[in-house]
């Protein structure tokens, strides 16, 4: 049986490699993550605050990322949600073209070889790992 510490080390190696590959196409890893989220989230959750909640980050840092993506022409503001306080965001066609070259696709393709049960087990393990990094969890 593989010790949990060895699994944690493997997970760290994967995370570091994913992060380093995130410096592609003149984007930073946080910008790639924002584009992925905004491209896949339901329209009512495509706001900077929902992105910040999803990523577990401060809203100020996420707002800067969103502003940068708007400046680069990869994200547009398409109106407000709720009581008009949250701006709904969407990815542009340029962003969709860029997402076709997403560096994370290599890992997704590599995971395709896993049996569905193994993918489910991996997903459960990763969710446990994510929860362990959240404040107040453990």
Angle between helices 48-55 and 59-71 (to 10 degrees): 120
pLDDT of residue 138: 54
Q: Provide the β-strand partners of residue 75.
A: 91
Ordered by start, the domain boundaries in the chain are 28-132
**Cα-flanking dihedrals φ and ψ of residue 11, to 5°?**
-60, -40
What per-residue confidence (pLDDT) applies to 64?
Answer: 96
**Count of H helices and E strands in the chain?**
7, 2
pLDDT value of position 45: 94
Q: Which residue has the tokens 């590599």?
A: 110
Secondary structure letter of residue 23 according to DSSP: S
**Tens digit of pLDDT for each residue in 49-79?**
999 999 888 899 999 999 999 999 999 999 8
**Is 137's pLDDT higher than 70?**
no
**CATH numeric code, 28-132:** 1.10.10.10
């Amino acid at each position: 049986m593989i010790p949990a510490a060895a699994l944690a080390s493997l997970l760290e190696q994967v995370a570091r490699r994913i992060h380093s590959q995130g410096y592609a196409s003149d984007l930073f890893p946080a910008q790639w993550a924002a584009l992925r989220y905004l491209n896949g989230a339901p329209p009512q959750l495509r706001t900077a605050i929902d992105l910040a909640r999803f990523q577990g980050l401060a809203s100020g840092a996420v707002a800067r990322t969103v502003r940068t993506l708007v400046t680069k022409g990869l994200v547009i503001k398409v109106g407000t949600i709720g009581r008009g306080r949250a701006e709904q965001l969407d990815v542009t066609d340029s962003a969709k073209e860029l997402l076709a070259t997403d560096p994370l696709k290599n890992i997704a393709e590599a995971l395709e070889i896993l049996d569905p049960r193994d993918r489910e087990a991996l997903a459960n393990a990763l969710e446990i790992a994510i929860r362990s990094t959240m404040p107040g969890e453990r």
